[in-house]
Amino acid sequence: MGEIVRLQKYIAMSGIASRRGAESLISEGRVTVNGNKVTEQGIKVEIGADSVFVDGKPVKTKNKKYYIMLNKPVGYVSTAKDQFDRPTVVDIIKNDISDVRIFPVGRLDYDTEGLLLLTNDGDFTYKVTHPKFHMEKTYIAVVKGGMTISGINKIRNGVYIDDGFKTSPAQAEILDAYDGHTYVKITIHEGKNRQVRKMFEAVGNKVVGLQRIKIGNVELGNLPLGRWRHLTSYEISYLMNR
């Protein structure tokens, strides 16, 4: 069985009108479903089964699924639209993919860069972001100053953030220390707001740069900053079937 959606959404998915525009087409009596004129809003249709016509012409939904990896730069919000009109991650891809609505899979902070997934497949988003799947996410944190072994161990064992929430055991490893900064690779499988920054704060360290390099075993690799690519079929099925 195909996905069941509201008629205005179906029309919008085809790209011929926005949802609002589709509502006007319906109320103007220009839409038929399985040969019957529909003027009331909100009726549901099944993709692939019901036949929808606008002005006598068949409307086909673009049912294609997109799975995208972006190397997000600092200075972009991970939403489709920002209340303060700041640039969004969707702005980066929308020149190339403009006929479908694609959404970020989870989020990275405005001041975080690195691996962000985007898709129009809600099931995929669920698999990657729902806490019950414990998807590991790996980051490189640039920490101001030095870090003690005891600080790293506390982060590994779990620290208290957000009014008593104790983070789960994490992997953390000092990679390097130079120019007054310490570079730490950290893997967590939770997704509290600004979690990595708060974990370091909990042990008295400030994160001054944060980059996500991996989700599960899918790696950012050498994708340049601000560029995107399609996921491979291997990456999609790995993330879907974990």
* Catalytic residue annotation: 109
CB-count burial class (<10 Å; 0-12, 13-18, 19+) for 179: exposed
First to last CA, the chain: 25
Minimum CB–partner distance for residue 63 and ligand URA (Å): 32
Angle (CA) 121-212-151 rounded to 5° is 135
CB-nearer residue toward ligand URA: 108 or 147: 108
Minimum CB–partner distance for residue 242 and ligand URA (Å): 19
Minimum CB–partner distance for residue 92 and ligand URA (Å): 16
Cβ partners under 8 Å of residue 116, min gap 6: 69, 70, 71, 72, 78, 89, 104, 105, 106, 107, 108, 212
Structure tokens at 121: 């497949």
Minimum CB–partner distance for residue 179 and ligand URA (Å): 22
CB-nearer residue toward ligand URA: 197 or 214: 197
E-strand stretches of the chain: 4-6, 31-33, 36-37, 44-46, 52-54, 57-58, 67-72, 103-105, 113-119, 137-144, 160-161, 165-166, 171-178, 181-188, 207-215, 218-219, 228-230
CB-nearer residue toward ligand URA: 154 or 197: 197
CB-nearer residue toward ligand URA: 13 or 135: 135
CB-nearer residue toward ligand URA: 8 or 195: 195
Minimum CB–partner distance for residue 167 and ligand URA (Å): 11
Backbone angles phi, psi at 127, to 5 degrees: -65, -35
Chain positions contacting ligand URA, by CB under 6 A: 108-109, 112, 194-197, 210
How many other CB atoms sit within 10 Å of the CB of residue 235?
A: 18
